[in-house]
Amino acid sequence: MSAAIQLVNQSVLAAEPVVQEFEKPFNNVSVFELAPEQRLRRALTRLGDLQTEARTLREELARAERSVTHYEQLLRNATLREQELRTQLAEQMR
């Protein structure tokens, strides 16, 4: 094997402007177009996830509505009981 070594004069290097060809950093991730089958599979997976999330949210909403209905009934019962007690108190005060 033979190797060629050439000494470079530092003044020559300093005199020549260095062109910065690669000023912006490289992105090591390859950019490529996904096959239609892959895009479709990904879209169907996402659609399934969204449908599952929508179903879960509907179930939570139904539970919350039942809970609100229950508390409204309790409030109506308490209001009626309060009115009955006030009526009894008014009768006893006469």
The larger pLDDT score, comparing residue 9 to residue 37, is at 37
Output DSSP code: residue 4. Answer: -
Say how far apart CA 77 and CA 85 lie, in whole Å: 12
The larger pLDDT score, comparing residue 58 to residue 35, is at 58
Strands of 1-94 (E only): list them. Answer: none
pLDDT score for 36:
81
Mind listing the pLDDT tens digit for each residue in 18-55? 555 555 555 666 656 678 888 899 999 999 999 999 99
pLDDT score for 85:
97
Share of the chain above pLDDT 70, in %: 64
Q: pTM, whole model, 2 decimals?
A: 0.52
Say how far apart CA 66 and CA 58 lie, in whole Å: 12
The band of 94, judged by pLDDT with boundaries at 50, 70 and 90, is confident
Tokens of 19: 């062109």
